[in-house]
Amino acid sequence: MAAGAESLSPATGVDASAGPRRRVVGGRGLSAALPGAPQLLAGRWGSGGAALLVWIGFLWVLVTRWDGVRDGWGGAWDERLAVASLILGVAAAWAWSWRDAVRPFHSRSVAVSQWDLAVRAFSRNRTAVAGLIVVGALYAVALITPVVAPFDPNLQGDLLTERYVGPSLMHPLGTDQFARDVLSRLMYGARISLSIGFVAVAISVTIGTLLGAVAGYLGGVVDTLVMRFVDMVISFPRLVLLITIIALFEPSIFLITAVLGLTLWPSTARIVRGEVLSLREREFVQAAVALGYSKPRIIFKHLIPNALAPVIVAATLGIGNTIVLEAGLSFLGLGVQPPTPSWGTMVDAGRQNLLDAWWLSTFPGLAIVFTVLSFNLVGDGLRDALDPRLRS
Amino acid sequence: MSALLEVTDLRTWFDTDQGTARAVDGVSFDVQEGETVGIVGESGCGKTVTSLSVLGLLPVPPARILEGSSIRFAGEELVGASVRRMRALRGNEISMIFQEPMSSLNPVYTVGDQICEALRLHRDMGRREARIEAVRLLDEVGIAGADRRVDEYPHQLSGGMRQRVMIAMALSCAPKLLIADEPTTALDVTIQAQILELVAELRRNRGMAVLLITHDLGVVAEVCDRVVVMYAGQVVERGSVQEIFSEPRHPYTRGLLRSLPSLEDRGRRLETIQGTVPPPTDWPTGCRFQARCLLAEERCGEPQSLIELDRQDRVARCWKAGL
């Protein structure tokens, strides 16, 4: 039976080296004991490894930080979110591995979508996968920070004995001028920086994709209006605009996110418009018109999904850029306001003591560098994976 | 018998920077129910613009259909019909298949998804019902293993199979008229024959009319009942397939037929028609073919009208045709 199933390979034109997925070893017994292990044994490093890491990591946190988990469940919304993500992560790893191992091999679809091909191309790019692992780990840690952080980020220690303590067992990354734990502040800062980057880019991608697709497909007056508006927004010096708006209002996380999101979209709009202009001449779009489909249906169902590849790349790189920008604004005191930790404010706070307390600025600085670097690696990997011409 | 499609004096012009391109300039023909009509001619003589005009698929501007033009489908005037009405007709009553099967399917959806979309939209089918019908349609257009192919993506299919999928999509709502714009041009010869046979078979089984746009007279001979020969935006000759092939009356039609390879005169150099179609912004007055015509005389400089020949619906645009 297995042999018969093996011969059921995808049709012509498909990357032959990838072939059909290999059969999962061990089955349900192993997947119940150690989620991801059967998939790893079958040679599927990506999905198997992710499941195993999430399962072991989250379960370890659940067990070792049981007190924090119990308190967190009755605490503020972010603590509940952290507990919920922990439990969901463990459950999801378990469920996925079980289902994947139990599902009979031959019932798997032979269909190979463009996304499948892109995923395969991406997973062969080691630096990009490394970047993705770092990004994934950062977001995972950010989600569960309230449970795993060793200290409250704003908790001040004894100001006489615990200020400017260098890295030690108690405080792995030292303490700052108010005797607060730098590691905890770094972890909470990650939540702020990563969320601002993600949400701002999500806003800009949504606006940019919508406007770009509509402008590109409808053309004419709509196109002219939208694109001139884009030119207007782009021609405005962004930093000046940001500083002006923030100076006018009280600086807050929401304001910064909104302002960043609302100034980043023009580049996405341009990319999408360009894609749509070329897609609209393709025959499947003509065929959709000839089948009597409405304009919204053509734009949302047929054009946007096809224009998404460069948007995903731009968005990934955009998150990195936005994190740097937010750090810059916070460094200047225009971004996130103390005592809320953000990587930019932490670098700023450590600036005066750079010579005698080097750890204050160094670690948040390194966090920014590694995060942005990872996003850029992922973005480059996606660019290569999503471009069929570069796929070998 | 009333005509299913009746095109009368269709003029579709484009306003371009080089002037007005009179791409289609007074074309008349009709398609009866269940009949296959071929429109033949070289590249740039207005075949495709004619077919796109019927479905109202041309962008306005630059295109405009002039007053006095009439396209009647089942008695209903389509020139000036509302956008909503045209959209209701497209896919339901009139379907179209295109030349390039490689790009005529959406690469991000499976072929089943694409057929189901048409079915659910036009025939109000549920998800499950549509899928069953999609498999049946794929089977009807001759795709082997339709229940498996339905879940594949366009890039997993060969060109011929994609064209079959396109046909299945076009057929999904049982249209009365199928417009096929060079459906076999991009396919290799053996697949061409299969696709043509499929179109002919579907027409017989479903009683559907087909308007076939092609530059290939061999294709016309194989599947058409009647032929419209177009040159430089005008109809130059119209007649049944037998009439066109056995006694072509317009010099252009004769030229086209002479440039077909045949088994009898092997070894002889294939004849060609010298020159190219003039640009549509700059048609000559008088006969538009005169510059390339072997029989051109002074009288060809006068405007030529369609001359009714001996039989019904048998016309040619040449003063010598009736002689």
Q: Secondary structure of A76-114 in the HEC alphabet?
A: CHHHHHHHHHHHHHHHHHHHHHHHHHHCCHHHCCCCCCH
Contact: A291, B108; criterion CB under 8 Å = no
Are the C-beta atoms of A326 and A196 separated by less than 8 Å?
A: yes
Closest CA to B282 of B294, B291, B273: B291
Of A106-110, A359-363, B87-91, least confident by mean pLDDT is A106-110
For residue B292, give the H/E element and its range.
none
Of A21-25, A88-92, B180-184, B279-283, least confident by mean pLDDT is A21-25
| Full DSSP string of B126-141 | -HHHHHHHHHHHHHHT
Of A109, A113, A284, the CB nearest to B105: A284
CB of B95 less than 8 A from some CB of A? yes
Cross-strand partners of B72? B6, B77
**Helix axis angle, A182-218 relative to A343-350, nearest 10°?**
130
Of A114, A286, A302, the CB nearest to B153: A114
The CA distance from B49 to the nearest CA of chain A, in Å, is 14
Q: How many helices (H) and strands (E) would you count in chain A?
A: 17, 0
Token pair of B52 as six digits: 């796109």
Contact: A113, B99; criterion CB under 8 Å = no
Of B97, B108, B155, the CB nearest to A306: B108
Count of CB atoms situated within 10 Å of the CB of B200: 15
Q: A36: left (phi > 0), else alpha (psi -120 to 50), else beta?
A: left
Look at residue A389 in the predicted model and tell me its pLDDT: 63
Closest CA to B179 of B299, B266, B98: B98
pLDDT band at A5 (very low <50, low <70, confident <90, very high): very low
The CA distance from B81 to the nearest CA of chain A, in Å, is 14
What value does the mean pLDDT take over residues A38-62? 81
pLDDT band at A18 (very low <50, low <70, confident <90, very high): very low
Are the C-beta atoms of B248 and B257 separated by less than 8 Å?
A: yes
Out of A143-152, B169-178, B285-294, give the one with best mean pLDDT: B169-178
Look at residue A391 in the predicted model and tell me its pLDDT: 53
Residues 6+ apart with CB under 8 A from A386: A118, A309, A310, A312, A313
CA dist A87 and A59 (Å) reads 8
CB of B98 less than 8 A from some CB of A? yes
CA dist A288 and B54 (Å) reads 16
What value does the mean pLDDT take over residues A24-47? 72
**Complex ipTM, two decimals?**
0.81
CA triple B103-A275-A235, angle to 5 deg: 170
Q: Does residue A359 register a pLDDT over 50?
A: yes
For the segment A254-283, what is each residue's pLDDT rounded down to a tens digit?
888 998 898 889 999 999 999 999 998 888
CB of B186 less than 8 A from some CB of A? no
The amino acid at residue A135 is: V
Are the C-beta atoms of B181 and B149 separated by less than 8 Å?
A: no
pLDDT band at B289 (very low <50, low <70, confident <90, very high): confident
Chain-centre distance of CA A249, in angstroms?
A: 29
Chain B neighbors of A305, CB-CB under 8 A? 108
Contact: B152, A111; criterion CB under 8 Å = yes
Token pair of B77 as six digits: 């005037």
Average pLDDT, chain A: 82
Average pLDDT, chain B: 83
Contact: A114, B151; criterion CB under 8 Å = no
The residue ranking higher by pLDDT, A310 or A156, is: A310
Are the C-beta atoms of B284 and B231 separated by less than 8 Å?
A: no
What value does the mean pLDDT take over residues A204-212? 94
Q: Does residue B39 register a pLDDT over 60?
A: yes
Longest Cα separation, chain A: 78
Are the C-beta atoms of A184 and A157 separated by less than 8 Å?
A: no
For the segment B224-280, what is each residue's pLDDT rounded down to a tens digit?
888 998 888 888 888 888 888 888 888 888 888 887 777 776 677 777 877 778 887
The CA distance from B210 to the nearest CA of chain A, in Å, is 15
Residues 6+ apart with CB under 8 A from B108: A113, A114, A305, A306
What value does the mean pLDDT take over residues B175-187? 84
Q: Does residue A25 register a pLDDT over 60?
A: no
Contact: B96, A11; criterion CB under 8 Å = no
Coil, strand or helix: which one is B30? Answer: strand
CA dist A378 and A316 (Å) reads 7
Residues 6+ apart with CB under 8 A from A47: A36, A39, A96, A100
What value does the mean pLDDT take over residues B277-303? 79
pLDDT band at A17 (very low <50, low <70, confident <90, very high): very low
Look at residue B322 in the predicted model and tell me its pLDDT: 67
pLDDT band at A6 (very low <50, low <70, confident <90, very high): very low
Q: Does residue B1 register a pLDDT over 60?
A: no
Coil, strand or helix: which one is A245? Answer: helix
Out of A213-222, B9-18, B263-272, B303-312, give the one with best mean pLDDT: A213-222
CB of A388 less than 8 A from some CB of B? no
